[in-house]
Structure 1
Amino acid sequence: MTPRHVAVIDIGKTNAKLALVDLATEAEIAVVTRANTPRAGPPYPHFDVEGHWNFILDALAGFHADHGVDAISVTTHGACAVLLDADGDLAAPVLDYEHDGPDKVAAAYDAIRPDFAMTGSPRLPGGLNLGAQLHWLFDRDPSLLARTASIVTYPQYWGFRLTGALATDVTSLGCHTDLWCPDSGTVSPLVATLGIRGKLAPPRHPMDRLGKLTPAVAARTGLPAKTSVACGIHDSNASLFPHLIRREAPFAVVSTGTWVIALAVGGADVKLDAARDTLMNVAATGQAVRSARFMGGRSYDLLTAGRHVDPSLAEMEAVVARRIMLLPSVVAGSGPFPHAGARWINDEPAEGTGLRAAAVGFHLALMTQTCLSLIGARGPTVVEGAFSRNTAFLTMLAAASGRDVIATASSTGTSLGAALLLSDGRAPHPAPQAIVTPPGTAWAEYAAQWQRTTRHSDA
């Protein structure tokens, strides 16, 4: 029997969330959040998992008291794994992937990592390659490998805390880790090289049921011990999942948060460029999906100083007419222009104005379209998450792509997908959406000029 109320644990890079999704209406009927602020150390920047755990338990108890919780699902950001000792406790703090520690042994890691052609994982800075994290952690602490009894990917860590069951999932292993081969659906040779073949928890599909609640969790939250917990899923694949089960290819999905993740289903058979942050993702179904990304949410925060402004149509048209543009890239080291520096042309608008909001939205849309073009996207583009409510972003994305853009109404783009893992593949009620069609030629000409100007920015 399909549950009605699914509590979704959603650990993003910026915020930890708990959302209660009503599968009968596909609406989020309750959402609570907590900042995901890494602890500085020692021994290195790491995530506050105990703070998150208490937040999760309290929120589950509140949701169940107010609405009733029938099942639990989990989705998290990628590039994260948890090392557990024989007692199930942390063998080491959970590393923040933005820490540059792994870069200190980059040459040694580069000598052992598999080729991009095998894994679909581009070489990324810091700990964005999970294999690089593990290599650095074992290098800095020679006793850690022996202390580590099990390694679980991040969604399954929370599943382990809930149920006591150990697992990894194919979407998290397939998220630029260097540890997975998407075409064969098997671990890569790096697993043996790192000495973790017997420690990496068994790979499972996100829809699998991980187990029931432990007695301690049931007692703390008031949920029945029989409450089912899904295995869990990488967040951008959670955004993709509803569309995989209800849309005909070709189409693209853009998941927006700290990262903007573009995924193309049934697109052109293009060769990916590892130097421009394109990669092979692994969907909940196990299929390989071309994807590309950049730190769009982080860029938005830096450019707006946290002050959200909704530009008017007149302000957007003024930016188009005056060709006010922000060229890439705001966050260096990743994305389609990893080596380019940001610069304004035709005057930088003042912070807090509609002109700046419009120009920032256009910049993010054009970065997104660059990602979509690199992965051969075709058909309509579905936008999930924070940018689904940004009119400047949506309109310029339609102009730049020449294709319809579908904006979903969900405020938490990943929550519905994670909840649907417990629906046995049924998604009878399409989420509310708005379709943005390509605007006039002036917008398309603006996009074309931006694209011409940035054509060699990645060099």
Structure 2
Amino acid sequence: MEKGPERLPVIAILDIGKTNKKLFLIDEHYRIVWENNCRFPEITDEDGDACEDVQALTQWVHSSLQEMLAMPQYRVKAINFSTYGASFVLINEQGKVIAPLYNYLKPFPGDLQNKFFAQYNQQQELPGITASPILGSLNSGLQLYRLKYKQPELFRNIRYALHLPQYVSFLVTGHACTDITSIGCHTMLWNFREQQYHQWVQQEGIADKLPPLCPSDEVMEVKLHGGAYQVGAGLHDSSAALIPYLASFTEPFALISTGTWCITLNPFNDSPLTSEELQQDCLCYLAYQGAPVKASRLFAGNEHELQTQRLATHFQVAPDYYRQVEFDPLIIRRLQAPGAPVLTSFAGRSLAAFPDYETAYHQLMLDLMAAQQQSTQLVIDNTAVKRIFVDGGFSKNPLYMHLLAAAFPEQEVYAASVAQATAVGAALAIHHHWNTRNLPGDLVELKYFKAESPKQKA
């Protein structure tokens, strides 16, 4: 009897962003051999605020895994997950979802915020101890505090609050756990000094709603659709995106992970957060093996999307017309000439002041880069960082990359392409459970950008 073709061993990764939900099969050389993605329309919670459709997401997880595991040409050995952070899925004793997946941008009640900080931040130390700027619902621990006082019946019925990566893992394993990369992501839950939950989490009974901690690099064996698979607990996407770089480089570097948020991560900065850094949206993440990573955040991808929509409407072009705009040092020189209007935000500029889309888009990128330079500088100051890597959407944007190189002339600036860094990071986190090969030496592809002087081009 003739033997069929060998099935390619792979790991399946579900990579869930705010906008795109992606599926990947990755081989033992960390090459993506199959991918798919989709988007869901948002729904609203009981207050009319936009939120993720958790039921649609749940159905998509189940159907996607069924599809991937059934592919005859691949042998799935393991499964892991990376998702956006600061978001809880609330389940009851029966494992059923009992509330909307509240958006981390949901307005936080002012009266409750005042009550919380009056009780737990009397010495003004809570943000520093928890490495969390005061961010309202983006401090996901405060989402649970809000439910306790605004929806006590719902709070009583919560068996577990699962950060989104762990909820997706729970759908596959049936095992509820808490992962350090989610807890260590501006949640205000974790005491970075003592490496345990902060006292307020115990005092408010919230610790009882959080399942046991599990290591980010461990797996559970799960039987599914007739096969046995090694399944990870899932990772916060920003921490997952860092893993390919930590695996590839030992010299100090910073990574700007770009998407809806542009997050500068410096794994080589272990200095305690200062109150000034916290006020400027700095924080610490916890890497998948528990080490703190100083980071700064900028909502630049979101701003770029809003402003390119505005530009498209004004100049009557397609929403993605910006992809055709090439970096022009002469336009930069004109926009930076003495006497040019200085504003802190492109949103405040009149589009009538620009002769064409290209000029307006260059100004948008200059304004975004002014904010990016300030944000990144916060976490690379006083460290030995000599290289800055950029991954995600802006790494493919020539204006962003050229302007970043000009903004950081003392560092080497690279567009880093790890095909789908968060997905590859989630696969690398559990490498030793599914992959017997050595890590490849070419995980990260780099393209160098040299600071270019507009004056030389004039």
Give the 3 Å change call, closer, same or farther, for CA 319–418 of structure 1 in structure 2.
same
**Residue equivalent to 2:366:** 362
Give the 3 Å change call, closer, same or farther, for CA 442–207 of structure 1 in structure 2.
same
Say whether 1:437 aligns with 2:449: yes
Give the AA of the match of 1:380.
R
Q: Which structure 2 residues correspond to residues 137-152 of structure 1 after superposition, within 5 A? A: 137-152=147-162
- Residue among 288, 310, 334 paired with 1:321: 334
Superposition deviation, residue 9 in structure 1? 1.3
**Residue equivalent to 2:231:** 229
Superposition deviation, residue 313 in structure 1? 5.0
Q: Which structure 2 residues correspond to residues 224-263 of structure 1 after superposition, within 5 A? A: 224-263=226-265
Q: Helix, strand or coil for the counterpart of 2:207?
A: coil
Say whether 1:109 aligns with 2:111: no
Superposition deviation, residue 348 in structure 1? 4.8
Deviation string 1:135-188 (CA, Å, 9 cap, x unpaired) is 111212112232111222210101111100111111100111010123432111
Q: Helix, strand or coil for the counterpart of 1:198?
A: helix
**1:250–1:379 CA contact under 8 A, matched in 2:** yes
Indicate the larger mover: 116-125 or 182-191.
182-191
Deviation string 1:222-270 (CA, Å, 9 cap, x unpaired) is xx44111111111111111111222114110111111111111224847
- Residue among 78, 82, 85 paired with 1:71: 78
Give the AA of the match of 2:147.
L
**2:180–2:290 CA contact under 8 A, matched in 1:** yes
Identity of aligned residues (%): 27
Give the 3 Å change call, closer, same or farther, for CA 172–71 of structure 1 in structure 2.
same
**Residue equivalent to 1:343:** 348
Deviation string 1:63-106 (CA, Å, 9 cap, x unpaired) is 33445232111111111122211111123222111111444522
**1:30–1:63 CA contact under 8 A, matched in 2:** no
- Residue among 162, 165, 184 paired with 2:194: 184
Indicate the larger mover: 374-383 or 97-106.
97-106
Q: Helix, strand or coil for the counterpart of 1:255?
A: strand
**2:11–2:79 CA contact under 8 A, matched in 1:** yes
Q: Distance in 1 between matches of 2:128 and 2:444?
A: 39
Q: Helix, strand or coil for the counterpart of 2:439?
A: coil
Superposition deviation, residue 355 in structure 1? 2.9
Give the 3 Å change call, closer, same or farther, for CA 424–361 of structure 1 in structure 2.
farther
Q: Distance in 2 between matches of 1:113 and 1:36?
A: 38
Largest Rg, 1 or 2: 2
Q: Helix, strand or coil for the counterpart of 1:289?
A: strand
Q: Helix, strand or coil for the counterpart of 2:201?
A: helix
Deviation string 1:99-128 (CA, Å, 9 cap, x unpaired) is 114445221222244512211111013x10
**Residue equivalent to 2:217:** 207
Alignment RMSD (CA, Å): 2.7
Give the 3 Å change call, closer, same or farther, for CA 107–242 of structure 1 in structure 2.
same
Give the 3 Å change call, closer, same or farther, for CA 225–188 of structure 1 in structure 2.
farther
**Residue equivalent to 1:53:** 58
Q: How many residues align?
A: 420
Say whether 1:95 aligns with 2:95: no
Q: Distance in 2 between matches of 1:355 and 1:431?
A: 36
TM-score, with length taken from structure 1: 0.83
Q: Distance in 2 between matches of 1:152 and 1:325?
A: 48
Give the AA of the match of 1:94.
L
Superposition deviation, residue 438 in structure 1? 3.0
